[in-house]
Structure 1
């Protein structure tokens, strides 16, 4: 079969790889039917995630059909259509018992496309498949479901829930990529008074308005601090979400938050950012970080089925499963392509 193989910073190829096989009793093998590319994959290719070894198959967001299960997998059978979560969970260790699956001590956590081969391939091995896949109802399309593998639960858990968004809040999202847009969608569930989105790309700011942002700020052309203070009587935002992963955007977020407010860092950081405690220590600011746990995936799936989450405009580019190389080119250059989320299907 073929897979998208990482060969070191800046190097990737769609090439022949061995077929996956059952290695542990709780494994399942899926035929990959729909898969997408994550901003984290771009961070890996940029050298920001050194734990990823050359030769690794990338990818951690897929919908597929079960073709084989290990002897320890309950509740799944060949032919089942499933969402493969970006997080694998042993279900036994201390963190899994607390619902913190991203910190799994039993061989799980974020491993797909990171520490084991991922899902950007024709077939994939899914560890701990009984707890790390979700059966999909027929009325949910592959294209909508694949967005629940990572970006929706990440934005919701690490951004909205960690940031404790409440009715009437002023919420700022810095970064209007897929994660930032998912943060807008899920923040709206809590009826904030204002959602402000900051980004350099006007195409992404237009998308943010489409998904429910009230105010769009063009970074570099407008002053985000002046805009936010103008909306809040000079106080600053109640919640600021960092959805890029650069030192500059993190420091911008810290400057936009009001005294007693919350900064929820979602972005993947490959370089050090300065924490200005000389300014923040007196302002009662809470800063949270986090890797998604995906405990919210069943709830988000229920909301998707009920029509409470509108994801119809998130996917901007579609490719066949053998078109990973051009798909990466398009996704990696959103300023020129206008790409939000790309989906590749069998």
Structure 2
């Protein structure tokens, strides 16, 4: 099969690899029909994530069709269409029992980092009954890819953690893939203003098309002045840092100056460990 394979920082190849086989009775083999590249994959490829083995297949986002299942898999069978959990878990350890699947003692972000991932024609998924999800008939698989990692991250930080309320003023630093999903999810609770800040004008134009009420294209590190100008000098209710590098590049001239009045700050690294 073909796979995107890591061979060290800056070294990757689309090459032939053996098709994965079942290793345990709880495994499943998935024929990948849709997948996506994550910022975390780019971090691995660039050498920013350490201890990734040479020869590893990258990727942790995917949907597909089950081609084989282990003898202990009871909830899925060959031919089922399925969505793959981006951070496999065992479902039995203490973190899993608390719903903290990404910190599973046996799993977490291992797919495409410690075990072969989904940027390939086939993938082996451990603990299939827990880490696979049935796809209803008629659902567009391309749309489901957004639910694998990117959209839930924006939802998590914008809605439950951000506690955005109607009428709030929200500022989002970074309008990359995570910042844009945070923008989409923030609109669920009808804030009065969503101000996007970035150094990339194209991304900001996309943000405006997706519902940002204002955007700040900053190149001089003095975005604080512009945010205060846009907010009329009033309190910003929620600040979401979707990209720490953008935030630093946007605000570095403001260090030592009066701070931005706000109620809640959410640090949401767009390249956090999965995702």
Structure-1-length-normalised TM-score: 0.72
Match of 1:12 in 2: 12
Residues in 1 aligned to 2:260 and 2:134: alpha-carbon distance in whole angstroms: 40
Q: Compute the RMSD of aligned alpha carbons.
A: 2.4
Instruction: State whether residues 25 and 72 of structure 2, in contact with CA within 8 Å, keep that contact through their aligned partners in structure 1.
Output: yes
SS at match of 2:115: coil
How much has 1:88 moved relative to structure 2?
1.0
Residues in 1 aligned to 2:216 and 2:149: alpha-carbon distance in whole angstroms: 26
SS at match of 1:161: coil
After TM superposition, list the pairs within 5 Å mapping 1:46-61 onto structure 2.
Answer: 46-61=46-61
Q: 1:148 to 1:23 in 2, by over 3 A?
A: same
Match 2:269 to one of 250, 266, 271: 266
SS at match of 2:79: coil
Instruction: State whether residues 83 and 132 of structure 2, in contact with CA within 8 Å, keep that contact through their aligned partners in structure 1.
Output: yes
How much has 1:161 moved relative to structure 2?
2.6
Q: 1:261 to 1:245 in 2, by over 3 A?
A: closer
SS at match of 1:246: helix
Instruction: State whether residues 89 and 127 of structure 2, in contact with CA within 8 Å, keep that contact through their aligned partners in structure 1.
Output: yes
How much has 1:159 moved relative to structure 2?
4.4
Match of 1:230 in 2: 229
Alpha-carbon displacement from aligned partner over 1:182-227 (angstroms, at most 9, x marks no partner): 1111111121111111122222111111211111111216843123
Matched, 1:194 2:197: no
Q: 1:87 to 1:132 in 2, by over 3 A?
A: same
Match of 1:114 in 2: 113
Match of 1:35 in 2: 35
Residues in 2 aligned to 1:176 and 1:117: alpha-carbon distance in whole angstroms: 30
How much has 1:261 moved relative to structure 2?
2.0
Instruction: State whether residues 197 and 205 of structure 1, in contact with CA within 8 Å, keep that contact through their aligned partners in structure 2.
Output: yes
- How many pairs does the alignment contain? 271
Residues in 2 aligned to 1:168 and 1:133: alpha-carbon distance in whole angstroms: 39
SS at match of 2:146: helix
Residues in 2 aligned to 1:249 and 1:11: alpha-carbon distance in whole angstroms: 29
Q: 1:55 to 1:78 in 2, by over 3 A?
A: same
How much has 1:51 moved relative to structure 2?
2.8
Instruction: State whether residues 6 and 45 of structure 1, in contact with CA within 8 Å, keep that contact through their aligned partners in structure 2.
Output: yes
Instruction: State whether residues 174 and 249 of structure 1, in contact with CA within 8 Å, keep that contact through their aligned partners in structure 2.
Output: no
Residues in 1 aligned to 2:165 and 2:40: alpha-carbon distance in whole angstroms: 28
Structure-2-length-normalised TM-score: 0.90
Alpha-carbon displacement from aligned partner over 1:85-137 (angstroms, at most 9, x marks no partner): 211121111111111111111x1111111111100001001122212222112
Match of 2:130 in 1: 131
Alpha-carbon displacement from aligned partner over 1:257-295 (angstroms, at most 9, x marks no partner): 5343222323336xxxxxxxxxxxxxxxxxxxx867xxx
Instruction: State whether residues 170 and 238 of structure 1, in contact with CA within 8 Å, keep that contact through their aligned partners in structure 2.
Output: yes
SS at match of 2:238: strand
Instruction: State whether residues 155 and 266 of structure 1, in contact with CA within 8 Å, keep that contact through their aligned partners in structure 2.
Output: no
Residues in 2 aligned to 1:202 and 1:243: alpha-carbon distance in whole angstroms: 16
Query: Any stretches of 5+ residues in structure 1 without a counterpart?
Result: 270-289, 293-346
Alpha-carbon displacement from aligned partner over 1:222-243 (angstroms, at most 9, x marks no partner): 8431232234342442222222
Matched, 1:208 2:211: no
Whichever of the two has the greater Rg, that structure is 2
Residues in 2 aligned to 1:102 and 1:74: alpha-carbon distance in whole angstroms: 23
Residues in 1 aligned to 2:132 and 2:216: alpha-carbon distance in whole angstroms: 38
